[in-house]
Chains A and B, each alone.
Chain A
């Protein structure tokens, strides 16, 4: 029996671009979306394999921007080409403003059993500043709609340490989130991206020390509330880790459809273009930028990705293979002496302090 694959589908459309975002996404009309679905269908026809799929992740952009008939097309004509295992995790990202009761019920009917909601903050003023289109109440309503539709496996995204964010405001957001009690939470430390709206402005993020303090504030509060900190930015109640995302960090195989999507099967990475014009030209041909790392480089990358997983997570710890030899071992031991990694079982994990400094270690592993 073959190992099931993951499947990622990218929906690169949003109603508006958030101020911190530099993702491959844009504002699209209904016609643009229809044309894009045509391309996805071509890609799906080519990519569909006999291997079963056990996780699907529809990301964006804002996948919930699709209207009813577009959604049906996505699930029936595109995802329908793939064979799903009976217990498959089917996730989609969504923004609160486009998650009403009807949409939630539609999604449930189409087989979606996990939704990742972009909440970002529970502070009305902060939501405005971030360029979000929803209100605080909107987050509550969206969670309510999903639960009413039977989708209880919900993730809420929060962002911290963005320009203007403070410990007090962040604490209020965390407390409001805990009251809602989603089984999965992602906390992202703001990353100043040159290509974002804020990147082009004279906007200063909080200083390094405050950024890290806010992050540990979230870690401590969520762990205290029973969440497992299982990846650098992800927290879950036991059994609610995102199985699809775990595939990335465990270097399992997955397919990718759509703009900027990546397919990674048995160590070969095929990347779709990040700009729409190039994607339109290549979607039908299957010609993609390919990366095939040599065995050592591949092992190093796998080790680096797995180090993102924290103690207790499925897939942790990172165990350097024999082939990597002393050099990698020495790097890890050096960072152990600096307090950035700990031994864990037969391998290594990032220490509490090492999580926020993980690039120091990663840069020497790749």
Chain B
């Protein structure tokens, strides 16, 4: 097809503003799916994604649209992940497009991710077509929201469409607008192949399926290609497009979007952002913007039953097949035994992996509290990466600890300016600037240590702004901090998995609060259990879990035995969900206690 009839675009939106519903409606109107075939939100194929209403993996669907101008257009709709943890993946998906449909909820207005996504789109030189969605809602205020879009994004209201993806209103007009406003790809067929891998997934039959946007040249089935970041060579086993079912074709030309399989076994070999070129007559320069995904949040994973260790290793390996952002390595804890230290792209990413492990692999796990990556400056000037507080060298063995900082953008009603500032201060953050969006909303920018974001920052922000605030963050740098390690001992035994790195000035208060929380989280045992918080080997706080005294069935007569059995079996199962640390049984909640202290 002549590239002037091609439109490559994404839909970008804040979570729940209707991105997936709009994608469904577009597929339906262009005949890619019939009503009968249609499941709601086709692009969110993973069950977990559906439940959480988020899209983790991007997919590209090709549809054909017959415009009023009499021409048939090829639309490549590229779905983007909708969460801040996957910013890099979003940016690569956007790099495969010429345009982005910006969806804003007519009742909610502009939110944190609306803006964050707009910035990404602008960085990638995309045309932006704003639409106000959910005009069917009684609470819709499309005119106000258009005004917000104008103020914040600086796009003229003339272009802004009012639609309801739910009932289909305005969507045919949107399709025409896509033809009119988004530029066709600029192509140079005679140049050497350059294709962007903007996403990938692992298929147990095909190996890694790479999603490609062809920038220059042509890729053909059977050809020999090379990945520029690794230099590895592959034979193209198949090429195709999603309509939305996988459909094989023989070639993809510049300007087009599709998939490639090449017997690639490891998803880490086909990295998002990498450039595919030909082995012979390849291009000189890779596409700009390639980065390796870096984990920023870390936690330990241990099986409750040590015998399940190998099962956990298998499960992590399987998850990693489809998740290039997830890393893990064996780890040993004196308290918890053998396990793994895992790295994630963010908190949501961590939660998703943990849930999948429990749901799909049926493993009873202990997950330690999330930690950030500290850079520890040693006496000889070298930097040690510490992603596990228990691995921090002894005081005196290092000069300084540097901790990561993020820039947080928060969008919220202006009445909460004081409240949010208070939270920022509690979290050791500082104000950078603030702008007003329309009459009653502000966008504040703050600098906050990331360690204080991974605890309960978002929950607190939500509750203190009655759910109205939204936020996104990006990494700035590591800065030296006055930090110390807080250790916890339970029944006289140090529990390394409960250690944490805290600011010196808050260490005593944290120690006190944590011992209180642990006392609540650890159930009474057969004996009294002292819990101590220690800094540099010196106890700073102590609580006691009193010995358990009562667990008895007063009555157990003939008719009761079967019922009582059930009760006892339930108790037994409950014990199995706790980790035996020394003589004490510790439940999962205890390891998360630090998330609920200030």
Interface residues in chain A, defined as those with a beta carbon under 8 Å from any beta carbon in chain B? 8, 10, 24, 59, 188-191, 208-209, 211-212, 232-233, 245, 247-249, 254, 256, 260-262, 264, 269, 271, 291, 301, 305, 308, 338, 340, 353, 355-360, 362-364, 366
Contacts and interface: CB of A to CB of B under 8 A. Distances in A.
B538 interface: no
Contacts of B558: 8, 247-248, 254, 256, 261-262, 264
A363 B549 contact: no
Interface residues of B, number: 24
Contacts of B568: 359, 362-363, 366
A356 B556 contact: no
23 contacts: A188-B555, A208-B550, A209-B546, A209-B549, A212-B549, A232-B554, A233-B554, A248-B561, A249-B556, A262-B559, A271-B562, A291-B562, A301-B561, A301-B565, A338-B527, A356-B552, A357-B526, A357-B548, A358-B551, A358-B553, A359-B553, A362-B568, A363-B568
Nearest to B574: A363
A10 B560 CA distance: 13
Contacts of B554: 188-191, 232-233
Nearest to B573: A363
Contacts of B548: 208, 357, 360
A115 B166 CA distance: 72
A262 B552 CA distance: 22
B552 A359 contact: yes
B580 to A, nearest CB: 12
A248 B555 CA distance: 11
B557 A248 contact: yes
Nearest to A261: B559
Given A291-B562, A353-B549, A363-B572, 14 more contacts: A8-B559, A191-B555, A208-B524, A208-B550, A232-B554, A248-B556, A248-B558, A271-B559, A356-B551, A357-B551, A358-B551, A360-B548, A362-B568, A363-B569
Looking at A59, A188, A245, A362, which has the most chain B CB atoms within 10 Å of its CB?
Answer: A362
Looking at B548, B551, B569, which has the most chain A CB atoms within 10 Å of its CB?
Answer: B551
A305 B558 CA distance: 10
B493 to A, nearest CB: 17
Contact of B561 (A211, A262, A353): A262
Contacts of B546: 209
A305 B556 contact: yes
Interface of B: 524, 526-527, 546, 548-559, 561-562, 565, 568-569, 571-572, 575
A356 B549 contact: yes
B550 A366 contact: no
From DSSP, what is the main secondary structure of chain B's interface residues? loop
A366 B565 contact: yes
A355 B554 CA distance: 10
Contacts of A359: 551-553, 568, 571
Contacts of A8: 558-559
B550 A357 contact: yes
Nearest to A191: B554
B559 A355 contact: no
Nearest to A216: B549
Contact of B556 (A211, A269, A308): A308
B562 A269 contact: yes
A158 B554 CA distance: 12
A261 B526 CA distance: 35
Contacts of A208: 524, 548-550
A47 to B, nearest CB: 14
A211 B552 CA distance: 11
Given A262-B561, A271-B562, A338-B527, A232 B552 contact: yes
B491 to A, nearest CB: 13
Nearest to B526: A338
A359 B572 CA distance: 10
Contacts of B559: 8, 10, 24, 256, 260-262, 271
Nearest to B572: A363
Nearest to A233: B554
B549 A364 contact: no
A305 B560 CA distance: 12
A218 to B, nearest CB: 12
